[in-house]
Amino acid sequence: MTALSDHRTAIRPTMADVAAEAHVSVKTVSRVVNHEPGVRPDTAERVRAVIERLGFRRHDGARMMRQGRTFTIALVVEDLANPFYSQIGAAVEREARIRQHQLITASAEGSPTRERAVIEALINRRVDGIVVVPADESASSDAAVEASQTPIVYMDRPVRGTPRDTVLSDNHGGIRSAVEHLVAHGHRSIALFGDDPAFWTARQRREAFVATQQSLGLPGPPRVSMGPHSPASVRETLTLWTETSDPTTAVITGNNRITIALLLALRDLRRPLSLVGYDDFELADLVDPPVTVVHQDPAAMGQKAAQQLFARLLGDESPAQTVVMPTRLVVRGSGLRRSTTTR
Amino acid sequence: MTALSDHRTAIRPTMADVAAEAHVSVKTVSRVVNHEPGVRPDTAERVRAVIERLGFRRHDGARMMRQGRTFTIALVVEDLANPFYSQIGAAVEREARIRQHQLITASAEGSPTRERAVIEALINRRVDGIVVVPADESASSDAAVEASQTPIVYMDRPVRGTPRDTVLSDNHGGIRSAVEHLVAHGHRSIALFGDDPAFWTARQRREAFVATQQSLGLPGPPRVSMGPHSPASVRETLTLWTETSDPTTAVITGNNRITIALLLALRDLRRPLSLVGYDDFELADLVDPPVTVVHQDPAAMGQKAAQQLFARLLGDESPAQTVVMPTRLVVRGSGLRRSTTTR
């Protein structure tokens, strides 16, 4: 850190400091800080960058009271320790921070009851808006939530009832790309280890798997095992499916947790099965063979959901929209037929 | 979900419901809910479990105003997407939730300036207490923080100035166990890839590495490369150190990020180096060979820090204490001399 920046942090910067540094008027800074319209997006972005760099903060207390706003948003997910959710969390927190909002995070641990209690508590505490990865399709649609004016954006899974902004991932496209990749490499007997069918995404991926099997004319009834899974349960099922006259040669997993359970099961089994995992993971490159995955971009999904929420907080009253984010197949080698791979 | 639990969630449970279900008096439930003394720990735990199961919630607004409490705590870390911090986050959030508190999470991205701004904003917003993994030893000790009565617990790294509760990990013990393990397997030329020496933990681990080298009588000046690192920078340094007359045969990393950079570098180098990583990671078992690590328990550290914070919120005014949590060496194979390992 330079002497200059030390000096800057010692004296609390003013709106005038931000205006001078960003080459805009104080009124423009004020508009950005107060989330008022009339500032070009690139200018607003530049002002926000200067605000963050200088560490400018307004005095919030009185202003918040006056506006009835708390400048707090919340994120409700299943489990903050799961990398899929922690990447969403980091992205939503960043969007909140650059807009001078604070983020409350809460884990509902997959329980619709707990999720409802958490969301009600957040609404009672007057958060300005909530991003939710809902536990099920009906979880948050009870009367209290419906009655509140609190904007909610759903992520990853939709919720029935009053339409609300929703950011989804292209589950059908993702699974289809996985099946097609395996078929292109000569696989005909492919199995799916899906997540708990209580989850909408798990059912979507199962449907996509069955539909793609059929559209590609693959033989036999689709082999599908839905979760919850453990390495032991995966191992048992795989033993069954690989000891038939038509042995399974490739497996698709339903998410990052199941990929790990499957990799552990395969290590114990020592069977040369091919694999495409759903969700990318940091060490996919380092497993032998490197794991081909359907890459969802949780950070981009979280950013998109937060941006939709802030649009609502700025007064956007257009009809609720559903955004479907594309997935991408990252080919690393594990989808090849294992008899043709070298170690 | 059973019909019974559906029914339960439809009718908002009362304190009397909780009391009946937990086999205690309504007064006891009230004490637990209001964080008042006079309830045995195991009874309180049982009541909290019932509260959570039934989804009981009091009406917070007026009560919070009356008590001047917001029933919100905050966690400030470097990067919520890093698994070390997301595990801390999940643990702190759980401790908050079972005590009917909400958790605000914030990432300071390793910047002392940003951290100071974040903590000041949290204090201005009247959070009841804060758990901080500080960016540096002086980060939060400015006047505003000192002047506030807000309890703060530091984690992972200490802060100079007014003593505050601090939860640390046994960095010296962790590094010593790594060096001793490698020496026991015949290594004499061991290198450390540490983190950025701006971090207290990085310097602690470097000191421990040098001290252990010397106490074990290993030859030559210690080979230490401090971060920040990239796979490319690690590869360059390793090339130098393995092409001398006294080639490095084993490497210790300073944290989970560096372990990954090192594994990527080793894959490209294709040199048979042994390895002990600092911090466990989920796929350590699946890398070939499986990675031996110094296991810190971020969830246990987060739980401990949150528990210390809640003790302060309950009125504990004993002197600030520092807790050092033990580490554990998890032996998986990568520490063996690579010439003796089989693939």
The pLDDT confidence band at residue B7, using thresholds 50, 70 and 90, is very low
**Which residues of chain B are within 8 Å of residue A72 when distances are taken between CB atoms?**
104, 125
In the prediction, which pLDDT does B84 show? 93
Nearest Cα of chain B lies from the Cα of A163 at a distance, in angstroms, of: 22
Contact criterion met (CB < 8 Å) for B61 and A9? no
Starting at the earlier edge strand, list the strands of the sheet with A152-155: A322-325, A166-169, A152-155, A129-132, A72-77, A102-107, B102-107, B72-77, B129-132, B152-155, B166-169, B322-325
How many beta carbons lie within 10 A of that of residue B138, not counting itself? 13
Residue B65 in this model has a pLDDT that exceeds 80: no
Alpha carbon distance B256, B272 (integer Å):
20
In the block, which residue shows the tokens 């032998």? A288
Q: What is residue A144's predicted lDDT score, i.e. its pLDDT?
A: 65
Angstroms from B195 CA to nearest CA on chain A: 18
Q: What is the DSSP string of B132-173?
A: E--SSTTTT-SHHHHHS---EEEESS--SSS---EEEE-HHH
Q: What angle do CA A312, A127, A99 make, to 5 degrees?
A: 60
Q: How many CB atoms lie within 10 A of CB A32?
A: 25
Percent of chain B with pLDDT over 90: 56
Facing residue for A87 by CB, picked from B55, B81, B90: B81
Low-confidence ranges of chain A (pLDDT < 50): 1-10, 60-62, 64-65, 340-343
Beta strands A102-107; A328-330: pairing state: unpaired
**How sure is the predictor about B12, in pLDDT bands with cuts at 50, 70 and 90?**
low
Given this model, what pLDDT does residue B143 score?
Answer: 65
Name the minimum distance, in Å, from the CA of A282 to any CA of chain B. Answer: 8
Mean pLDDT over the full length of chain B:
87
Of B104, B124, B260, the CB nearest to A103: B104
Instruction: Read off the pLDDT of each residue in B174-180 and give the average, rounded to a whole number.
Output: 98
Return the pLDDT at B147. Answer: 72
Residues A181, A175: Cα–Cα separation, whole Å: 10
Distances (CA, A) of A17 to A12, A53, B27, B139, B144: 10, 11, 55, 23, 21
Which one of B75, B104, B342 would you mutate to disrupt binding with A, by most A Cβ within 10 Å of its Cβ? B104
Express each pLDDT in B199-253 by its tens digit. 999 999 999 999 999 999 999 899 999 999 999 999 999 999 999 999 999 999 9
Closest partner residue to B57 (CB to CB) among A105, A121, A287 is A121
pLDDT at site B294: 98
CB contact under 8 A, B94 and A107: yes
| Contact yes or no for A107 and B117 at CB 8 A | no
Q: Where are the alpha helices (DSSP H) in B270-327?
A: 298-313
For residue B40, the tally of other CB atoms under 10 A from its CB is: 9
The phi, psi pair for A307, rounded to 5°, reads -65, -40
Centre a 10 Å sphere on the Cβ of residue B1 and count the other Cβ atoms it contains: 11
Cβ-based neighbours of B101, under 8 Å, separated by 6 or more? B71, B72, B73, B128
Q: Is the pLDDT of residue B4 over 60?
A: no
Q: Among B129-133, B248-252, B267-271, B289-293, whose mean pLDDT is lowest?
A: B267-271
The stretch B69-89 carries a mean pLDDT of 92
Among the partner-chain residues B5, B60, B122, the one whose CB lies closest to the CB of A125 is: B60
For residue A224, the model assigns a pLDDT of: 97
Chain B residue whose CA is closest to A87: B81
Q: Count interface pairs A-B at CB distance under 8 A.
A: 141
Identify the closest residue of chain B to A100 by CA–CA distance: B121
Helix (H/G/I), strand (E/B), else coil: B107: strand
Q: What is the structure's pLDDT at B15?
A: 82
Q: Do A83 and B87 touch (CB under 8 A)?
A: no
pLDDT tens for each residue of A284-310? 988 888 999 999 999 999 999 999 999
Domains observed in chain A: 2-58 (1.10.260.40), 68-169+299-324 (3.40.50.2300), 171-296+329-335 (3.40.50.2300)
Q: What is the pLDDT of residue A262?
A: 94
| Cβ neighbours for B49, distance < 8 A, ≥ 6 positions apart | B22
Distances (CA, A) of A341 to A56, A64, A333, A338: 56, 62, 8, 5
CB contact set of A133 (below 8 Å; sequence gap of 6+): A76, A77, A78, A85, A88, A154, A155, A156, A157
Which residue in the block uniquely carries the two structure tokens 């339903």? A254
Peptide bond into A247 cis (omega under 30): no
Tell me what the mean pLDDT of segment B28-55 comes to.
85
pLDDT at B111: 85
Q: Could you give the angle at the alpha carbon of A125 between the alpha carbons of A120 and A129, nearest 5°?
A: 75
Instruction: Give the pTM.
Output: 0.77
Residue A139 pLDDT? 54
B33 band by pLDDT with thresholds 50, 70 and 90: confident
Tell me the nearest-neighbour CA distance from B322 into chain A, angstroms. 26
Q: Is A342 or B45 the better-scoring residue by pLDDT?
A: B45
- Tell me how far CA of residue B142 lies from CA of A12, B54, B70, B108, in angstroms: 13, 43, 24, 16
Q: Please tell me the predicted confidence (pLDDT) of residue B287.
A: 87
Looking at the DSSP bridge assignments, the partners of residue B153 are B131
The per-residue pLDDT for A339 is 60
Find which of A86, A101, A127 to mutate to test the B interface (most B CBs within 10 Å of its CB): A86
B210 Cβ partners below 8 Å, 6+ apart?
B222, B224
Decide which of B35 and B104 is more confident: B104
Q: Provide the percentage of residues in chain B whose pLDDT is more than 70.
A: 90
Span B56-83, average pLDDT: 75
Q: What's the pLDDT score for residue B95? A: 95
pLDDT per residue as tens digits for the range B86-128: 999 999 999 999 898 999 999 888 888 888 888 988 888 889 9
**Rounded to whole angstroms, what are the CA distances from A267 to A333, B20, B288, B330?**
17, 49, 11, 19
pLDDT of A67 reads: 60
User: Which residue has tokens 């042995």?
Assistant: A247
Could you tell me which residue, B12 or A68, shows the higher pLDDT? A68
Q: Do B285 and A264 touch (CB under 8 A)?
A: yes
Q: How many helices (H) does chain B have, and how many strands (E)?
A: 13, 12
Which of A57, A118, A260 shows the shortest C-beta gap to B120? A57
Structure confidence by residue, pLDDT tens digits, B250-278: 999 999 999 999 998 988 887 789 999 99
Sequence letter at residue B76: V
Q: How far apart are CA B167 and CA B170, in angstroms?
A: 10
Contact A116, A140 (CB under 8 A): yes
Contact B80 A59 (CB under 8 A): no
Asked if A60 and B121 come within 8 Å (Cβ–Cβ), the reply is yes
Q: Do B90 and A79 touch (CB under 8 A)?
A: yes
Query: What pLDDT score does A153 carry?
Result: 96
pLDDT of amino acid A12: 62
Instruction: Kindly list the residues from chain A whose CB atom is less than 8 angstroms away from the CB atom of residue B107.
Output: 90, 93-94, 97
Contacts of B122 in chain A (CB under 8 A): 102
User: Using CA of residue B237, residue B238, residue B243, residue B247, what is the dihedral sign?
Assistant: positive
pLDDT score at A287: 87
